[in-house]
Amino acid sequence: MVGIGGQFDNSAPHNGGYQFLPRYLADFIYPVPVTYDLAITEVMASSNDANTTISDDWFEITNYGSTSVNLGGFSWDDNSYLAGTVVFPNVSVAPGEALVVTQIDSANEAAFRSAWNLGPWVQVLFNEDFATAQPGFSANGDGVALFDSSATPIEICRAEYTAALAGFSVEYDTACTYLGNAAVGVRGAYTSTGGDVGSPGNQSIGLEERGLRVSMHPNPTTGLVTITLPSEGSYSVTVQNLNGQILANQTVDAASAQINLSGLARGIYLVVVQGETGQSTQRIVLQ
């Protein structure tokens, strides 16, 4: 508040009678809550993988902003939605990166990464990374909530679902809005070696399931992106949002191309490159 201060206390020790008088409604200044560019973008609540050591539940947190976020002291819970239930260790999520939180033992990390073709650049947390047990997810409806480390914790994201199809992850956009079950080829989802469908870690290698190798730089970008293609040839390049809506497309007859995303809002987009020898779907972060 802004106001005029005064005191009306005629007797010692003159430590009372204080007044503080705001003058106008504008003198009341309301604090702006802290915001984070984090979202729970995927939940696997009912794996069908026959390997029971890696079929436990997992979910994904995506940083869709332009700055790194350290999750140390942040917490999560299932549909009890209680801050402080499971507290995160000191781990940072870079812009455009997605962190996978699993209820799998770290001894089975190699098998989990192999099943989903996850490279070493994908961060995965395991049971041993938390001081308390993680609550499991029900296939018949549940949710995940992410909280910050404030004295009065702020709920950053709440991802809820009414049912989870066995063997398929449940997907959400960056506003934590339910999008439905994962489907191969939609929003980058693919099939693991165990038969599950999803896209943990939002990484590009697992998305290139037909072998088309494409690189993009810079990523993150402020607008202009150079796409390097495997060889000269005819390719279609499509830019989509995370809901699968096509925002731009072009045809390329060369070994490289450029796309300009500067007309779009900040966030994460999918760049789909289709050629005669295959398809590549990769995520690009626009700052």
Round to the nearest angstrom and report the end-to-end CA distance of the chain. Answer: 35
- pLDDT at position 209 is 39
**Tens-place pLDDT, residues 177-194:** 999 999 887 777 889 999
- pLDDT at position 204 is 41
- pLDDT at position 57 is 98
Torsion angle (degrees, nearest 10) of CA 174, 172, 199, 230: -50
- pLDDT at position 242 is 64
- pLDDT at position 206 is 36
Coil/strand/helix, residue 127:
helix
Beta-strand pair 3-7/18-22: antiparallel
Structure tokens at 76: 């999560």
Q: What is the pTM of this model?
A: 0.65
Query: Could you say which residues of the chain have pLDDT below 70?
Result: 32-33, 202-212, 242-244
Domains and CATH numbers, the chain: 1-30 (no CATH), 38-207 (2.60.40.1260), 215-286 (2.60.40.3080)
Distance CA 12, CA 143 (A): 60
